[in-house]
Every structure is written in C-alpha cells, then in structure tokens.
Structure 1
C-alpha cells in the first residue's frame, strides 16, 4: 500500500529542515553523527551523517514515540506510548533486535551508559536494564509521572518527575532526594563535575551540584520540555513550549544565542558529536539544523538529488517520490523497509503484499489501488480514507506534484 511518510513533499528543496507526519518528540545522535528522530507519527527516522538524507524509516511502535537513545555500537533504543522499549541495530529491519517490557505506562525518556539503559515512565517508576541480559532494577519513589532520567559522571542514575523532585539512585532501590522544587520537572541532563541541569514548568533552568546546591536562570516564560548538553559540557540548549531554543554557557549561565523557530512548542534538541551543530524538533513536524556557534540555521538537511530519473519516467514525479523511497521500494527484490514494496501497485488490493505485517485496518483489503484511489488517499489523508489506521496523517496539497507522482508510479511500479 502506498502510505508514504512524505518527509519533504511540497517543501522547497533549499529548506533547512525535514518533515515528520506529526510533532517531533525525540532526537538522538550516534557517535558517527547518524541522527534519529521520532514522534507522534509513530515513526523513527534515521538520517545519514553529514548529508542528512533519510536512511531508514521504522514504524514498529504501537503509539507515539517519546524517547530515543543512542546505543553502544551504533544502534538506537526507542520507546513511547505503549511502554515497550525496542533496541535497533545501526541498519534496522522490520523488527527490533530485542524488546524490553515491564513498564505499565508510557515511557517518557531513555538514557544509556555503557551496558546499562535507564527508562523513565508515567507508571511512576524508573528502570535500569542490563543490555547484556541481566536483572532489571525497578526504582520506585516518585509520586506520579517520571519524566526524565540521566546517568551522572560518577555513574549514579538521576531522575526527575511530576512531583518536582530530583532524585539520585545509589543502589538497592534506595533514592536520595537531591533537590525539590514543588513543580513538575520535565528535562534533565548531566554536566561535568556531577552537575545536573534540570528544567520544568516554571521556565527556569537550574544547575544542581553534587551536594544539592542550586544556581538558576530564567530561560523563558513557558515550561522547559527539553535540554541537551554539548559533548564537552560547556554549553546547554534549552527548548520549551514558547517556540524558541536558547543556548547557554553552562559555567556562567550566560545567554549565548536564541534560536528563533516558528513560534510553536519545541519538544526535542540534540547536539552533533563535535558540538558544532545541533538539531531541534517540535510541533511543526520539522527537524531543523543549527550552527551552535552562531545560532544560525544550517542546511540543507536534505539536498536535492543530482541523479537523473530513469529514462521514460516523469522527472517531477521522481523528485516527489524521492521522499517516499525511505519507506517503499519499487520492486519486490529490495530488502525489508518500513512500508511494503509498490511493484504492481495499480490493480492491487490493499494489504495484499505477501509476508508484510499490515495493521489490522489495512489487512482488510477493502480498497483496490487505482490512480483515483491513490489520489484520494493523498488528497483526504489516510485518517479519512482508512480511519483507524496507525499510519501518519499526510497529504500532497500541490495538484501538480500529485499528478506527477501518479504518472511516475504508473510507469515505475509495472
């Protein structure tokens, strides 16, 4: 079925951004620079290091993906609304390498240190998982949602939650309240010297020392929902519901830059391994790249392909389909991808590709794909054409682009 995560359709090719099918809730960067982004469209997208082209799109989670973390060896962990944690290799297939289960509510944050993975959940617990298969530590003590976890430099796990407490977990399930602020805390990162940076509902950025001492500065009038530390720990990026991202010098809490976005909530931020650039994602569905030194937008994240389309195929349609190729192959010979292959699309019933794990709604097979039904899908959107599907909401609003895409598919999928 032609359900495509239209990452860039309808955007200028010079845009310094890329698009999800819903708000971007989480970002993570591997040591080689590979960026992972995820969000409310239930998709995790891996972007090639440097060039920023989509390398893979994974649609496995049973709800919104709220949290990502880079794993040792180049893979990623993802989790979210359904409470399961999926461990993915650097080159993901249709299924994760391993699934960690036990949380009774959505997972809000993940953190990795060596062979350990920590998770924060709205079931009121944090958990520490041994990636080698050892026992799981269940950490209870917060009153309400646990929103953030991080490993300090000394190896101790720290957590923050809706109850306004910042806690340390020295072992054996015992927690120490390092600080208490009386309002929900949403974001947490570790800095050198066992300092923790925490942000919450009052818009204040707080640095909490190993002994509990607090320094603070107002980062904005709206709640802070994400914080990232530069690799050397010298700078912080703070994102909030007000729509802008502020960059701070950690030692002095001096404001360095303000990154002006679209005025919509920014849910996620992550630095590149070299600290020279950072990415942001939020409610406008876009992943944006910025110069961390100047505070200016960089780009393009996705560049226009210089390859000519195959002979005889519609060039404009090939350009539109380029955004779809991260999910769908044109031939059955391609390896596993997030979506089924499109060979023989026209005249095929929905949910008919053998061996592909369709959702219950699409497996009904009550639509036959024709030029008219594919056009209807991208005009009204999958939420209208196939209500109940888990697929992201997207349309192709430009009639010329839609016609070109259909012309391309009619030839390329024969």
Structure 2
C-alpha cells in the first residue's frame, strides 16, 4: 500500500516529475478509481477511489506524489480549482479543499445529508457546485459563506455542471436534467427515458447527459434534445468533453470508453480495457490524451488521436484472490464482498478494511483505516457468532452508522459457510 508522501509544494512536486521513471499505468488505489481531474497545466492528476483515498499523480511519470486520507467513505468526485487547490467529495457527505503539499484539508465543507456524487467549478472560478444523494445540489462560494441549496430533484442528484454563462445544471436518478438560474432558482427541467448518472457541458453550452439506458443525449441550453447516440448495452457512468468541446468521451460499466465526434454524433473509436467498469474519464488540457480510472484500480493514459493505450498493451484483470477456494460455498458467498475487502494484511484496505486477522478483533480497531465515529463507539468483537449475526439482520441494524452497503444473507447454511470460509481465509 502506498503511504502518504509529504511534499513541500509545487516546486518539490515538479522536481519529482523531472526525475522519476515513466509509467503509463498508475497503480496505488486499493479499490476502483471513482473520480479523476487534471490540472490546468496538464502535469498533475487527482484521483479519488472507493478505498477512501485521493492520490495526486505526476502524469508523465506515473508517480504518486501524495496519497491523502481524510474521508470516511469512497471519494466519489474530485475537481481542480483555478487557484491551484483541488477539492474531493465523498460518500461521507463532506467536501475537502486541499492545497498541494499539505497533508490535511485546508477547509472542509459540510451540509449535505447524504453521499456527495459530483463536483463542478463555475466558469469564473468563484463557486464550487456539489451534487448529492440527499436530493439536493449546493453552490459553495469559494471565498467563504453559506451554500445555496438547489432543491427539486425526486431522488439522488448524481451530477452537476455549469453552463458557460454560470448557470448550474444537474442530473439525477429521477431521469431529469435541470437547468437553474445563476442564483439557484429552477428554470428548465428535461425528463429523459432513464435514470441519469453523469453530465458534461461544452463551451457552446450544449449539455451531454447519460445514464442507465446507455444512451448519450445532447441537449440545448433551452432544454431541447437535439441528438442522441446509443452505446449499449452497459450503462454510461462518466462523461468528459475534450477541451475544445468537439469530442465526448463516454465511459461505461461494460469496461469501454466511446469517443464521439459531437458534430456528426459518430463514434470515432472505442477504448477497450480489461473488461471492468470504467468509473472516471478526463482529458489532458491540450486534448492529446485521455485519462481513465476503473474497476481494475488503475489510472490509465490513452492517445486521444488514435485510441491506443500509452504504455504496455497487456491489461490483465486483477488476480482472482478466491481461485484457491474454488468449489467452496463460503467463497462463492464472499464474492459479493471481495471488491471492498481484502483477505490478507499485505493487500491493505480497499473500500472497506482488510479482513486479515478478523476473528478476535474489536470492531473499528485497525490503525490504517478511517472508521465512522459510530463504529468506533461500539463494543463488538468479531467472532463466528457476531459475523453471522451481522449478515442475518443486516449492517444497518447490527452496526448503525456503518457505511457498509446494506445486505443480508437469509440462508443460515450460507451464513455458516461464509463464517467457515472466513475462519480459514483470514488467518
């Protein structure tokens, strides 16, 4: 696991960039790479992961300059601010503002009552917008002061962006794209056929929106749908427009990224990776490269002119940690957990803590993982009985305040098989 690397500031970072060996596949996250942003000079990228970490990368070298652990949940969104700072937003409902070289946030924005799923910076650089699963978006003055709350969506707000004139745009699971006034008042609402997960806005004000039905739709600033591109069958989960607005990269749960020419709505080429979801995509400012982050836990670089990967062509899936337990019922039950939890201490935390040495350990006691305060206050020791009970009644009831996805195992035989497997695999 990469440890936090203290750096003194931009000069130190650039010194590292000048001397480190190049690598086009950037490895450091312990879980899927959920979010990406690139600095204005194109030299640095910031990524957010399901492992609760944000990483600052030197793009030309593949070097992790700093690994930042502050959030108590997956880092779902990142944004680069005009003054050299950057923002991270998390499942924990908080937004952190960072300055390069500092190991702790310079400022923390709190107010959302649910996971924050998206961030955007206004064209004038004065406002940070956030979209959250509490059904709201918020406009935060970066100079300080209270946020304006945008209300109207019927469900999770998954994405936010700004029109060139400074008006915010939001999209949500209620299948609507909503355009607001600069003051945060609702102006236009467009209802599309399925839930929406991502937005992008071109320099000419055209809005691109996509989600569950695997179709990208181009919408005018007045709310009229002008064109659509079907990408199916997998949902589209991330969009990014090239700096000139002429090409749109659409990343999907099926593991590919389609690059679309906006004027003709033709697919120019498709980036094909290891077959795992591509959660995030960004462009370098000169339009020469695409940067992607996905379920293989890597940040990758691609030639934006040809769609060819930069660096080795080999793109293996992560090793199947359960292969040694083939045929065991408990291992099959655990497959639902393997994306978030490793079994061995040397694999480190993912979205959830490692389960190595689980039995006999007090809840929320690993020193290298950020637990919620609710879990830290509990008096539970993990035993075969307590683990079985967790999945019998569900995490929300057994460990209130957990960020663990709600799931129960209704079969007593399956719970027993899981416990037997964990007793063996976590030693």
Q: Aligned residue for 1:140?
A: 151
Q: CA deviation at 1:186?
A: 0.5
Q: CA deviation at 1:92?
A: 2.8
Q: Aligned residue for 1:226?
A: 238
Q: Pairwise mapping of residues 166-315 of structure 1 onto structure 2 (< 5 A)?
A: 166-214=177-225, 215-299=227-311
Q: CA deviation at 1:282?
A: 1.1
Q: CA deviation at 1:212?
A: 2.1
In the comparison of the two structures, how many residue pairs are matched? 310
**Whole-Å separation in 1 of the counterparts to 2:202 and 2:348:** 47
Q: Aligned residue for 1:32?
A: 41
Structure 1 runs of 4+ aligned residues shifted over 2 Å read 3-6, 13-16, 49-52, 171-174, 379-383, 385-392
Consecutive unaligned residues of structure 1, counting only runs of 5 or more, are: 7-12, 301-375, 393-414
Q: Residues 41-83 of structure 1, C-alpha deviation per residue, up to 9 Å, x if partnerless?
A: 1111101242231111101111110000001122210011101
Q: Secondary structure at the match of 2:197?
A: strand
Q: Residues 170-213 of structure 1, C-alpha deviation per residue, up to 9 Å, x if partnerless?
A: 14542133411142100101012211011110000110012222
**Whole-Å separation in 2 of the counterparts to 1:53 and 1:181:** 41
Highest relative contact order (Cα 8 Å, sep 6+), 1 or 2? 1
**Whole-Å separation in 1 of the counterparts to 2:89 and 2:295:** 19
Contact 2:2 2:67 in 1 (8 A): no
- Higher mean Cα deviation, 153-162 or 378-387? 378-387
**Whole-Å separation in 2 of the counterparts to 1:243 and 1:292:** 17
Contact 1:122 1:144 in 2 (8 A): yes
Q: Pairwise mapping of residues 316-331 of structure 1 onto structure 2 (< 5 A)?
A: none
Does 2:26 match 1:18?
yes
Contact 2:34 2:76 in 1 (8 A): yes
CA 385–73 in structure 1, closer or farther in 2 if over 3 Å, else same: farther
**Whole-Å separation in 2 of the counterparts to 1:37 and 1:391:** 20
Q: Residues 251-297 of structure 1, C-alpha deviation per residue, up to 9 Å, x if partnerless?
A: 11111110001111110000001110011111111111100001000
CA 384–199 in structure 1, closer or farther in 2 if over 3 Å, else same: same
Contact 1:104 1:123 in 2 (8 A): yes
- Higher mean Cα deviation, 177-186 or 251-260? 177-186
Q: Secondary structure at the match of 2:114?
A: coil
TM-score normalized by the length of structure 1:
0.71
CA 145–14 in structure 1, closer or farther in 2 if over 3 Å, else same: same
Q: Secondary structure at the match of 1:159?
A: strand
Does 2:355 match 1:383?
yes
Contact 1:290 1:298 in 2 (8 A): yes
Q: CA deviation at 1:91?
A: 2.0
Q: Aligned residue for 2:391?
A: none
Q: Secondary structure at the match of 2:52?
A: coil
TM-score normalized by the length of structure 2:
0.69
